Structure 1
């Protein structure tokens, strides 16, 4: 499913990538950095025939980071006998990573939230937001939306959910995570902040709900309790099929994952292009191009949504499937 979603995601934003996913079954929180590096290098050696600058190009996802991507690149390069930075994206800047890549998915989420707010006549400076998940994506989205004037009333990670009606101090929470040994909100305290049940976060009366953790978080069991006006899917597949039907019946707008969180793969594409051409773009150039692509994709999806009076999810899939089918027909059958 994750591989298929990536295919449609790339097609929505119209970049020349397909879709694939891979994983190692382990708990990185229980591993030392050395153990994690050894597992990554072994995994890379096993998938070596499958990856390459013109084949499958890995990028960060759940429980991985720039360090892991660097180890993949180094392992691949050692086997090839020369440095191949374009084999992987999301690398450290020092070894060919792109400026803006770490924040790219969250930046895209914040931009899409801004765009949907305009269509819904919601004033972001007076809006309230709850965010499930406070990793790279959740942090970046929260920080940028907070800068826009949004009131982030609740955030959560695997250690718990934190709520403050007047709005949380996002920068303080990010700094707390940076100093935590496992980069969690565990033990966070601040005046007026209360710890709430993880499921209660979904039923808060807010303008925007942003699931930014993992798949299958909004289900038929909690979809009926959601009070948000708009859901922006920052995670991959956070809403089940049955929950999506309930949300549609309740007229809750859902911006689908294949559009909302596409910023990461867009800047991964930028990083790959920079590596291929031996260039280094500045961060403003990266962000300007990202917003240009995200804006075009959003407008195309929104126009299909209005034209066919369908959900944004259906419109996004119509756009992506149409592009894939056209490309397939143009290539024909071989042999």
Structure 2
């Protein structure tokens, strides 16, 4: 990595039209890029190339409802960069989806793939909808219409979607089938996170949680903490949070608090994660779990614990609550859960924050494994997948620590600068066309 602190760049407010709302995920993502560009001594042109998506598509999706009515939804697919390979990123169904959110998530995917040495660029998709309000049939029709609208820009060599908030392996099966029907033959590698029965990879469904826990345990030990004597709080009890809670408990960490969008629960003795999962499966939430006491959702982030895993949505750790956070280690299971203001506060307090582009990269690593298997039509055992996942995660962790010691930056600054530098070098080697 070449660093020239004497080289100046324009403010991102000038170069990319950055807003002033520091809780906006795109503002947060571009702020991180700006810091990396300054560290690396990039000129205005390179900064602009990396700050803006290569391609964006906005589509209107008419959906015929079960009652015969029609609603129209807005969908997005943003491809931030593909200098190092095809674009890769999840598909999110949420009432909070916006173009700026998808742009930010696509940018973070670029850095994540690069940091973990996965040969992809970043992408992200989303539809502004609350999937809980619609039937399975309605969601299938929505997914198939969305897929048909973005067909020109996706494919195994172009852009490979995967599940995210509000979507799952069935969503990916519908996408794969829609793409395959349009192609005239089955194309398993067009998406990842599929059911194993149609070309998915063993170990994919739990991969993000496993990656988070590999890094969390390593981070605790790095801080001189014995995981078997540590406590943890987890915000989010979906695909990532629930799996992380189970795996941390198996590793001996006492998970004392878990929350979701409906509420949070606490037990000083440690939660029985299996019983909590059964309760959440029956009721749809951790709220009301009889073996624990309720706590306000915002209070969960401020508990006196060793480890905090925000595994829900972006921006939950911000200037309003960062000074109240007592955790010694924060491992970001979600994308973008910490704003720039909160980062500065945590740095001042000596709190170790492991950034999302490393901590939750297990999903994209095993998505890459699935893509490789799909292209080769040769499938690995779950033990092989898990072993390769652990190796990739821990190798990236140790490489990040080594680079941090050389640069004297925070882990996030180091991770972002490392990834940004690799993407810029790939772009320079390829050159501008025409």
Task: State the TM-score bracket (shorter-chain normalisation).
Answer: over 0.9
Please point out which of 250, 253, 265 is paired with 2:349.
Answer: 250
Q: Which of 235, 238, 262 is the matching residue for 2:361?
A: 262
Alignment equivalent of 2:262, drawn from 153, 156, 159: 159
User: What's the TM-score, normalizing by structure 2?
Assistant: 0.75
- Greater Cα shift, 124-133 or 304-313: 304-313
Structure with more relative contact order (C-alpha pairs < 8 Å, separation 6 or more): 1
Name the residue aligned to 1:116: 219
Tell me the distance in 1 between the aligned counterparts of 2:289 and 2:314. 25
Return the alpha-carbon distance in structure 2 between the equivalents of residues 115 and 332 of structure 1. 39
Residue 189 of structure 1 corresponds to 290
Identify the residue that residue 399 of structure 2 maps to in structure 1. Answer: 300
Partner of 2:132: 29
Shift of 1:276: 0.2
Hey, what's the Cα distance between the residues in 2 that align with 1:68 and 1:187? 30
Number of residue pairs matched by the alignment: 331
Matches within 5 A, 1:135-174: 135-174=238-277
| Deviation of 1:241 (Å) | 1.0
Aligned partners of 2:233 and 2:309 also within 8 Å:
yes
Alignment of 1:54-69 (within 5 A): 54-69=157-172
SS of match in other structure, 1:19: strand
- Structure-1 separation of matches of 2:287 and 2:194: 28
Measured in 1, the distance between the counterparts of 2:394 and 2:345 equals 28
Bigger CA radius of gyration: 2
How many angstroms apart in 1 are the aligned matches of 2:209 and 2:127? 25
In the alignment, is the contact (CA less than 8 A) between 2:258 and 2:286 conserved in 1?
no
Give 1:275's aligned residue: 374
CA distance in 2, matches of 1:266, 1:211: 20
5+ long unaligned stretches in structure 1: none
- The Cα RMSD (Å) is 1.0
- With the length of structure 1 as denominator, give the TM-score of the two structures: 0.97
Distance 1:295 1:328 in 2: 27
Greater per-residue helix proportion: 1
Aligned partner of 2:112 in structure 1 is 9
User: Could you say what secondary structure the match of 2:127 adopts?
Assistant: coil
Which structure shows the bigger proportion of residues in strand conformation? 2
Please give the secondary structure, in 1, of the residue aligned with 2:156.
Answer: coil
Equivalent of 2:422 in 313, 317, 323 = 323
Cα separation, 1, equivalents of 2:388 and 2:130:
36
Asked whether the equivalents of residues 280 and 286 of structure 2 are also in contact (C-alpha less than 8 Å), the reply is yes
Residue 189 of structure 1 and its aligned partner are, at CA, apart by 1.7
What secondary structure, in the 3-state scheme, does the structure 1 residue paired with 2:208 have?
helix
* Distance of 1:268 and 1:58 partners within structure 2: 10
Provide structure 2 residue ranges, at least 5 long, that are not aligned to the other structure. 1-103
Q: Does 1:203 align with 2:306?
A: no
Mapped to 1, the partners of 2:353 and 2:315 lie a distance apart of 14
Q: Distance in 2 between matches of 1:177 and 1:268?
A: 27
User: What residue is the counterpart of 1:84 in the other structure?
Assistant: 187
For the residue of structure 2 that corresponds to 1:21, the secondary structure is strand
Q: Distance in 2 between matches of 1:116 and 1:69?
A: 33
C-alpha distance in 2 between matches for 1:196 and 1:186: 9
